[in-house]
Structure 1
Amino acid sequence: MARIQQLSSHVADLIAAGEVVERPASVVKELVENAVDAGATAVTVEVRRGGMGLIRVTDNGCGIAPEELPTAFLRHATSKLRQESDLGKIGTLGFRGEALAAISAVSRLDICTCPAGALTGARLHLEGGVPGRVEETGAPQGTTVSVQDLFYNTPARLKFMKKDMAETAAVMGLMQHLALSHPEVSCQFIKDGVEALHTPGDGKLSSAVYAALGRDFAHSLVEVSGRGGEVAVHGFVTKPLAGRGSRSMQTFFVNGRFIKSPLLTAALEEGYRNQIMKGRFPGCVLHVELPVTAVDVNVHPAKTQVKFAREKEVFDAVFHTVLDALDQDGKPAAPAHREDFFKAMDAQTYRESVGGRADGVPVPSAAPRPSAPAPSGTRPIVPAAPVRPAAPAVRPASGRIVLPAQPPAWDTELSGKWAVHDTAPQAPAYRRESEFAPPDAEPLRGERAAGGEKPALAEQTAGRPPEAEQQSMPLPDGGGGDDETPWRIAGEVLKTYIICEEAGGSVWLIDKHAAHERVNFDRMKARLEPPMRQQLLSPIALGLSREDGALLLENLELLREFGFACEDFGGGSVLVREVPADIDAADAEATLEEFAENLRSGRDVDERREKLLHTMACKAAIKAGMESSEQELRVLVDRVQSGEIKYCPHGRPVAVKLSRYELEKMFKRA
């Protein structure tokens, strides 16, 4: 057995650096947090080659005294903690006292600082954690830290760095979090000599959201503000119709610190229950403020996770604040309060106010004045005719709305009681496609005959679109016309489940979306040639988060394999010019959002490719609620009954079998 010995200080520093500094974004995080704690109102971050070549952070904070510069780069050296009790009430961003030491241990670092009121500044150079001599120099108030050749002495960590585009996107995401957490600080980010972000620093969260996350996202937000006990919540959430394909646009801050919290995510999405589409997620920029003693931020080396002392109180505060804001969104403002609404008065005053005498005898009202004669050539004013329901619009099988050719005539008994008006007839009511139309309802033609005959019915094929426009599916050889199959399609319920009767007396319920999804997945997985593409007349600019956009741009070749032609549109946006023929252009943005989420979670190329196939198969499948032809249902049932399909790509069952005995048992017949 090897002998136990104490590690050298250099090796210990490298181990500590591995815990604190994972990538260039980790360096930027520690330096900008120190700048904010120093009272800076303007922070500028410049990176080259994704931060592997250069990271320069400049602030106008309080600076560091020249005699304290060497001490600042020692392990466990900090100006934010003094005694043991301070660990239970941490109100600053950086506090561990290991950041500067860890960064200097794996890079070549230069720091130039000038305290407030000093005539000159000081400069210090460190290489591999070894400090040089402090030199006097001219410098503006504040601190500038330059980090070069990151991980030059740790090649094991260097080989795990991603492409420059991905590392730059990570730094950009971190600068967005800084701008949103401290809107009073003007944040500037420069990548490879080009300014990518600049916030005004006017103290308004809305201004920071607009500058950091873009105009489209800012216009889809609803302001929220509330309090529950000692927990205050304020910020913005997206409207239910502006849901996202992933949770990448959910940003939470606790006492000004960006965190990732499943508790806050659950509270936010609980507020959207029954208001947002399934599979869509809300976006937000939420600030949670609570006493520093009620939260522990020292539970993770990167300080992105916290522990709440009273989790239920925090959950309720976020949930009710979001729910109240969504309920009030779009409602008219409350009427102005009348000062005399609750005015107190005695009985005598009330009688006088309503026209009676003090003794309670009502005063007779004056006789009504005769109305002035109507001018010649005009019709007298008559009571309005009662509103009769318009003839219902009928939606045939094609899914198009068919309006009645003419509204039905008024009943004979009503025509003599009401005068005819010189107004246009009331337009027939439109009917939304989601409304249920009776299967035997047809458009009306003509007016009701004098003998009380029923209106003529439109032809069954009226308004039916051409075959090319209908949802179609390739039929297998011999499918669709074989009456000797051992099963029979009994029908379809809820436009989602196919009812199939087997020759042996069993009944099958088949989920047509899951079955079609599996068909698409198997077909795409076995395909040897690239998919057919459709070029868009108007390219689509995707408003994704910076990290999601960088992930897609980093995997352009992989996306091209699946039929997507994308390119960098600048500012982190992605421009889509071509989509696969299986995907509708309207689903392109949601599909690529899911792609980005899958690319983030996939460990290798094969796993990523399979997850992308899952998304493609799902988006191209028949959706629940869509109308399907008998031929389409027959194809799906044939695949299921033959045993070819049992589960959808996500592992859900495609069909459920009910035996004759089970049915009879339900009705107490067995």
Structure 2
Amino acid sequence: MTIRQLPDTLINQIAAGEVVERPASVVKELVENALDAGAKRIDIDLEDGGIRLIRIRDDGGGIAPEELPLAVSRHATSKIASIDDLEAVATLGFRGEALPSVASVSRFRLVSRRPDADHGAELRIEGGRHGEVVPQAHPPGTTVEVRDLFFNVPARRKFLRAERTELGHIEDWLRTLALARPDVEIRVSHNGKPSRRWKGEGNLLSEVRLHEALGEEFVRNALRVDHAGAGMRLHGWIAQPAYNRASADQQYLYVNGRSVRDRNVAHAVRQAYSDVLFHGRHPAYVLFLELDPRGVDVNVHPAKHEVRFRESRLVHDFVYRTLHAALADTRAGAAPAPAYAATPGALPAHAPVAGGGHAASGAPAFAPQQQAIGLRVADAPAAYAALYAPREEAVPAPFAPAVAMPEDAPGGMPPLGFALAQLHGIYILAENADGLIVVDMHAAHERIGYEKLKAAHDGEGLRTQPLLVPSSLAVSEREADVAEREAETLAQLGFEVQRSGPQSLLLRSVPALLAHGDVEALLRDVLADLREHGSTRRVAETRDALLATMACHGAVRANRRLTIPEMNALLRQMEATERSGQCNHGRPTWTRFSLAEMDKWFLRGR
């Protein structure tokens, strides 16, 4: 078979197969070009879900008339000029493929005017065949018009979906963009009717775009995250565990401003939520990861949906530790933190901030406690006492004893209020400043015991137990390579492992707490994590599962009658315990009913 050079039109159509999947792909490429040109307003006109027409108009820097043919030539771009530029890409586009690819599979029109020009210029292309550049009236900026997408590639056109489906994909991507660029106004019309307007009045610390894109409920449950370290910064919002989803439909990640999907970061987020999320549910978040552009390769996917990190283990650990610290502050009774800050870099005093330090988390620095057994709730002092000291026993006793109050302790009702009664031996009813608090006493006490057990074992450090007879494991060659390379990491996790052959390992010691479990299966899972993510929490998660079981058995059971002081002691411990808003299995431990809500039940005030 003879080797021959492909014609340019066919080359562009092949490239279009990678870049242009559907109308949403066209909108993405053209809008990103507009943003790279400095646009502050973008108008998007669509017909038939973008299949019949996509028209993008911006107020950016524009293109000179003599450069219009070059703009629709393959690999022609103003965004990079050398390999150094490619290794530190700071723009959304950089390959110069979008316009020629789109023009090769549509009836294409490009009109642009530079701000200092007297008039604009127009270039038309139909199915890859170029027309002449002609003068055209146009305001400063650029308009790109794409008609009859895939009209000359019927095999691709027949794979397009119904109008509503294609429009939905466009709207989904615009929502993703709007969250990242609240400084840009975006107007959308469909079939001649205005369908959406994103006001360009906010910045990344504003809740306006959050509310517009994800709704009031997300905003109400969002925790602000902002932490820098190791040459990176992670900021944005994560939803409290109680606000979770059946799918991953509210997960938005941006790396240096670019919306991407990354398995490494997604894994770190799942691990951060693993202790507080109900099985099968998904967290919601809008996160912006910033790092040196030279540390991330954005040129690994034709549509730029994925990236590759130079230090993937460092990125994974940074994201995990940041979010893990933020979620630790989700104590029961703590007021939800505002999902915005008044000024860039400033956070409200009670907004949890992940990372090396925290602003006050909303949980009290002191725990309120009744003075003595037998006091009526109405007589209980509104004061705060020191947090309870850790107890010695492995599974903590149900409740700490009453703590004496200093006479000059600050006044005020504690977040979870004071106990009123027990309901059906299961729930504690308490009155706080806003209304009624209902606590699942077993779930709450289970979390308290679990956190104390974790703290005790973390304080002791990880102990190892030598095996009386070393165990030989048959593994793949890749697993053996990982075990040999990561021997020091495995030792820190409690495994003493030696390579005994190309496909075999010798296991000499294991984590003491897990010695009676299936340590060989655990080791294989650890090796898989180290190979795929460069890090692992398998040992910690397995240990935590065991401690969670211990805490569950040690927690107060249903139908146990508690005294008022015992109930109040539990409430105070909840306020002082990390992650106490959820039990060890991710179920909520408490809920609140405000007076306003209860007034509505009984039509009060009407």
> TM-score category by the smaller chain?
0.5 to 0.7
Match of 1:242 in 2: 243
Worse-matched range after superposition: 201-210 or 233-242: 201-210
Pair 1:161–1:427, CA change in 2 (3 A): closer
Q: Does 1:169 align with 2:139?
A: no
State the distance in 2 between where 1:200 and 1:324 align.
33
Match of 2:23 in 1: 24
Q: Does 1:224 align with 2:206?
A: no
Cα offsets for 1:127-157 (capped at 9, x unmatched)? 1111211111221111111100000000010
1:5 to partner: Cα distance: 2.0
Letter in 2 for 1:180: L
Cα offsets for 1:198-231 (capped at 9, x unmatched)? 2222232322221222233332321111122111
Letter in 2 for 1:270: Q
1:57-136 alignment to 2 at 5 Å? 57-136=56-135
Pair 1:328–1:117, CA change in 2 (3 A): farther
1:286 to partner: Cα distance: 0.5
Cα offsets for 1:627-648 (capped at 9, x unmatched)? 9xxxxxxxxxxxxxxxxxxxxx
Q: Does 1:430 align with 2:422?
A: yes
How many residue pairs match? The answer is 353
Cα offsets for 1:431-482 (capped at 9, x unmatched)? 477579xxxxxxxxxxxxxxxxxxxxxxxxxxxxxxxxxxxxxxxxxxxxxx
* TM-score between both structures, scaled by the size of structure 2: 0.55
State the distance in 2 between where 1:229 and 1:159 align.
49
Match of 2:139 in 1: 140
Letter in 1 for 2:266: T
Cα offsets for 1:169-202 (capped at 9, x unmatched)? 1111111111112221112222223333322222
Pair 1:3–1:243, CA change in 2 (3 A): same
Pair 1:433–1:50, CA change in 2 (3 A): farther
Match of 1:153 in 2: 152
Pair 1:433–1:163, CA change in 2 (3 A): farther
Which one has a bigger Cα radius of gyration?
A: 1
Match of 1:214 in 2: 215
1:269 to partner: Cα distance: 1.9
1:428 to partner: Cα distance: 6.0
| Contact persistence 1:47–1:191 (CA under 8 A) | yes
Q: Does 1:3 align with 2:2?
A: yes
Pair 1:428–1:242, CA change in 2 (3 A): closer
State the distance in 2 between where 1:62 and 1:16 align.
27
CA root-mean-square deviation: 2.4
Match of 1:181 in 2: 180
State the distance in 2 between where 1:428 and 1:86 align.
67
Identity score, percent? 41
Cα offsets for 1:564-604 (capped at 9, x unmatched)? xxxxxxxxxxxxxxxxxxxxxxxxxxxxxxxxxxxxxxxxx
Cα offsets for 1:11-64 (capped at 9, x unmatched)? 222111111111111111110110010011111212111111100111110000
Q: Does 1:326 align with 2:309?
A: no
State the distance in 2 between where 1:428 and 1:214 align.
35
Pair 1:267–1:434, CA change in 2 (3 A): farther
State the distance in 1 between where 2:289 and 2:189 align.
30
Higher relative contact order (CA closer than 8 Å, sequence separation 6+): 2
Cα offsets for 1:344-388 (capped at 9, x unmatched)? xxxxxxxxxxxxxxxxxxxxxxxxxxxxxxxxxxxxxxxx98417
Pair 1:102–1:313, CA change in 2 (3 A): same
Pair 1:118–1:315, CA change in 2 (3 A): same
| Contact persistence 1:107–1:128 (CA under 8 A) | yes
1:633-648 alignment to 2 at 5 Å? none
Structure 1 stretches of 5 or more lacking a match? 336-383, 391-425, 437-626, 628-670
* TM-score between both structures, scaled by the size of structure 1: 0.50
1:253 to partner: Cα distance: 0.4
State the distance in 1 between where 2:208 and 2:86 align.
34
| Contact persistence 1:222–1:329 (CA under 8 A) | no
Structure 2 stretches of 5 or more lacking a match? 336-347, 351-370, 378-417, 429-557, 559-606
Q: Does 1:270 align with 2:271?
A: yes
Match of 2:581 in 1: none
Match of 1:292 in 2: 293
State the distance in 1 between where 2:208 and 2:77 align.
33
| Contact persistence 1:62–1:115 (CA under 8 A) | yes
Secondary structure at the aligned position of 2:242 is classed as: helix
Q: Does 1:387 align with 2:374?
A: yes
Secondary structure at the aligned position of 1:197 is classed as: strand
State the distance in 2 between where 1:3 and 1:124 align.
36
